[in-house]
Amino acid sequence: MVPGTSPGVIQMGGRRPGTYVLLETALPQRPACAIGVILLDVESGRPWFRMRRNFESIAAAEDAEVLEAVEAHIRQCFTESGAENFLGSLEDSLSNALRVSERQTIAVDSFSRALDRLYREHVEDTAVERYTTHLPLVSLRAAAGGLGEEMAADVEEWIPAPEGMRLSPDLFIAHVEGRSMEPRIPDGSLNLFRLHPAGSRQGKILLIERFGVLDETARYTVKRYTSRKVYTSGGDPGEEEWRHAQVRLEPLNPEFEAWDVDPEGFAVVAEWLRTIE
């Protein structure tokens, strides 16, 4: 499974409720326009916020300087007041020059993905730079409880990468479902993986592939990998060879049991690096 640009796309439906507003400006003698998006996770209250950085094309120099300071102020207020309280204050107090739109509800599968989509739709259609600003979201859903449904592993969409990370073509993003790797990997979370991990696999959290019925399909699971090796004498004197006598796939959640698996029926696809959201 290599994240490529396959024409096949498997759409994923929203799982969590969200609400969003557009941050808008209506400056004198200029048309009103959206300059940012505030997206709230209804269940947790966590805010997702993105605002444009360049205001030269939509505002005079003195107004652009003021607008450039708005983002830092909003983020500070999110921290001090909470997102819901601060958003309410924005709705009650902003003037015509700076205002927010009416709230809209949205079903969200990934908040970072939804924020990027809303921003490109309502604020500015920024370019997707593959492996520079964005990483591929692979359509497989790796099961953290058991083996997931058999499906093709296609690139569904390119989504913003974690900030400050150096990107490369061996990185990709995928969902993980199930509770067996909690609390480290939450059920339904987006996770970052690196293809073909180098070095020892012992103790690492890995994306494991079991080959499917069709060539283009496979079943996936995420588990901590441990193995026991047996050394045997090689063909030449003084040489030793080794083989995996046992491979064990271990959950992190003690409510779930580990698996002993046949090494011939599985392949290590990628190493888990971190949860994105």
Superfamily (CATH) of domain 134-275: Umud Fragment, subunit A (2.10.109.10)
Res 182: pLDDT? 93
Res 1: pLDDT? 34
In the chain, ranges of CATH 2.10.109.10 domains = 134-275
Cite the DSSP H helix spans in the chain. 61-68, 70-81, 83-93, 111-122
Q: What is the residue whose two structure tokens read 């992190």?
A: 252
- Could you write out the three-class secondary structure of 63-131? HHHHHHCHHHHHHHHHHHHCHHHHHHHHHHHCCCCEEECCCEEEEECCHHHHHHHHHHHHCCCCCCCEC
Q: What is the pLDDT of residues 93-102, one digit of tens each?
A: 777 778 889 9
Average confidence (pLDDT) per 10 residues, the chain, 277 residues = 27 69 86 91 91 85 86 92 89 80 90 89 89 87 68 75 88 89 89 89 89 63 83 58 72 90 82 91
Res 96: pLDDT? 72
Query: Distances in Å between the alpha carbon of 145 and those of 109, 227, 249?
Result: 19, 20, 11
Cα 9 to Cα 140: distance, rounded to the nearest angstrom: 11
The model's pTM is 0.71
Q: What is the pLDDT of residues 24-59, one digit of tens each?
A: 988 877 888 899 999 999 988 999 999 998 888 888
DSSP, collapsed to helix, strand or coil, labels residue 55 as coil
Res 150: pLDDT? 65
Cα 67 to Cα 55: distance, rounded to the nearest angstrom: 7
Q: What is the residue whose two structure tokens read 């979370």?
A: 189
